[in-house]
Structure 1
Amino acid sequence: MTTPQWAWAFEAADGTPVEGTVSPVFTNRFDAEQWLGQGWREMAETGIASAVLLAEGKVAAPAVRLSSDV
């Protein structure tokens, strides 16, 4: 049995992926969401406009806006 993997994909304001930005991989959704909650301001300052939660590489929830510029 494999452990579930949760990670974030990051997008710029125009919806394109933000290159070079990698999320840690988490074993549960709570930890993934907590990590984003703790660091979203810093991510927004680097140009990340939204984050999409992935479960096993598939979209698990709608994008979370990190910036009002989206």
Structure 2
Amino acid sequence: MAFRWRYLDAQAAEIDGPDEEFADQQEAEDWFGSTWEELRASGVDAVVLLDGDAEVYGPMSLQEG
């Protein structure tokens, strides 16, 4: 399975975002750590980490506070 992120807007609806796939959870989290501010600026409100179709965790808000 490949790890990837699901992107959500403020109403928790799935929206388009970077179509990246990662070999493992650490790689996915490292990528997210370096891009979350860009994602937030592009309208992503929260993310969910997926392993294939299974949710690993989330939704995780990108908003401050």
2:36 to 35, 40, 53: 40
Equivalent in the alignment of 2:5 = 8
Q: Is the contact made by 1:12 and 1:48 (CA closer than 8 Å) also made in structure 2?
A: yes
In structure 1, C-alpha distance between the alignment counterparts of 2:53 and 2:62, rounded to whole Å: 21
Could you tell me which runs of 5 or more consecutive residues in structure 2 were left unpaired when the two chains were aligned. none
Instruction: Among all aligned residue pairs of Structure 1 and Structure 2, give the percentage whose two residues are the same amino acid.
Output: 22
Deviating 4+ runs (over 4 angstroms): none
TM-score between both structures, scaled by the size of structure 2: 0.89
TM-score between both structures, scaled by the size of structure 1: 0.83
State the 1:34 CA deviation: 0.5
In structure 2, C-alpha distance between the alignment counterparts of 1:68 and 1:12, rounded to whole Å: 15
For the aligned residue pairs, the C-alpha RMSD in angstroms reads: 1.5
In structure 2, C-alpha distance between the alignment counterparts of 1:37 and 1:64, rounded to whole Å: 13
2:20 to 18, 21, 24: 24
1:51 to 28, 32, 47: 47
Could you tell me which runs of 5 or more consecutive residues in structure 1 were left unpaired when the two chains were aligned. none
1:68 and 1:13, CA in 2 relative to 1: closer, same or farther beyond 3 A?
A: farther
